[in-house]
Amino acid sequence: MTKQLLNKFDIDKIRNDFPILKTIVHSKPLVYLDNASTTQKPQAVIDKIVEYYTSYNSNIHRGVHLLSQIASEEYEDVRTKVQKFINAPMSEEIIFTKGATDSLNLLAYSLGKQYLKAGDEVIISQMEHHANIVPWQILEKEIGIHLLITPIDENGDLMLDEFETLISEETKIVSLVHVSNTLGTINPIKEITKIAKSYGSLVIIDAAQSIQHLPIDVQDIGCDFLVFSGHKLYAPTGVGVLWGKMDLLNAMPPYQTGGDMILSVSFDETFFNEVPFKFEAGTQNIEGVIGLGAAIDYLTSIGIDKIKKYEDELYEFLRLELAKIDGLRFIGNALEKSSACSFVHKSIHPHDMGTMLDMDGVAVRTGHHCTEPLMRCFKIPATTRASISFYNTKEEILVLCESINKAIKMFN
């Protein structure tokens, strides 16, 4: 099965598409297993950014000259690519932001201040990234909303029965991560959305850790908003997406003001541009958006379904091999998981573990992963996190495990 899947997938060709994978770290070949933090970029994305800067670098939506027209067309074409990638109803619902964090802040500020009042409830989960906690806490102080937390069980699964107990007619927004960046838990977002909708709640999905691993269909999910970052999708940093239903976006006030989101300005009154431009103030990360389009083209050429199959097999191998190591304990044993695998060792601090692995060329993440409340839930300060991509191999997993065993021997 493994050989058949690898042959279909052509892992050697894929790895050749990512020039950074040939990097040498401390005299060892790079084994990059920090993909939940950011993914590496294929040559196709790098080339597209170079093409922009060397062939048609110009500002968008402003010039009548040819370079501006080409740049504007390339930029706007990416909306359609994103629309198709997540099966959104229309490209005009695609708003470019700086990333998932920026998108969530936009929603908390714009949707929150338009839609929420004192006493209203917002529900998030115990496994949320800080980016989906702090903006709602600010609204709690500024407006007087109530922020409710859906707990997780000892395996890192969201407790649906507790969610159904929490939600009520007072719940106006449910904002939930699709895949946990720390635990790898895949939440049943379609089921949660259905429950939330029965109470009239709006649903926001943070897809920062799922967009690159799982097929996403916003119409099938039934959510109202979905956010993700480009840099976790093999695209450049500093670019992201907010998708929202058009009627809701039209009703929301602008998040920021400035050029391009203005229709007309006088000293007496300002008229704002239509969606999506209403939420894209100032000069955008043009090369980032164009790079995002190239990343989507690249992933589409391979197929998200094929990527998922390969990564599922690789993830299972990762868990099986790590489970053989004495003194290692997984943090999170949910039934449905993807990509991220967090663990601790009984006698080695995660930061020491990460430093030792780095000396063998193995890049993992250590710390609380911007999920401090989750760390407190498991009564630990931090974890070591290995997170995979479709360019990783079983051989690299074995290098990781060998390096962990070497670190254990040294510390003992």
The CA-based angle 214-218-223, given to 5 degrees, is 120
93-109 as b/e, with b when 16 or more CB fall inside 10 Å?
Answer: bbbbbbbbbbbbbbbbb
Give me the amino acid identity at 377.
C
Q: Which of 223, 370, 377, 401 is catalytic?
A: 370
* CB-based contact 171:198 (threshold 8 Å): no
Rounded CA separation 378/395 (Å) = 31
| Conformation bin of residue 48: beta by default, left when phi > 0, alpha when psi is -120 to 50 | alpha
* CB-based contact 338:311 (threshold 8 Å): yes
Does the CA dihedral 232-163-126-196 come out positive or negative?
Answer: positive
Copy the structure tokens of residue 40: 């590496």
Q: Is 14 helix (H, G, I), strand (E, B) or coil?
A: helix
Q: Provide the CA 90 distance to its chain's centre, in angstroms.
A: 22
Q: Is 88 helix (H, G, I), strand (E, B) or coil?
A: coil
Candidates 218, 251, 291; CA nearest to 42 is: 291
Annotated active-site residue 370? The verdict is yes
Active site residues: 370
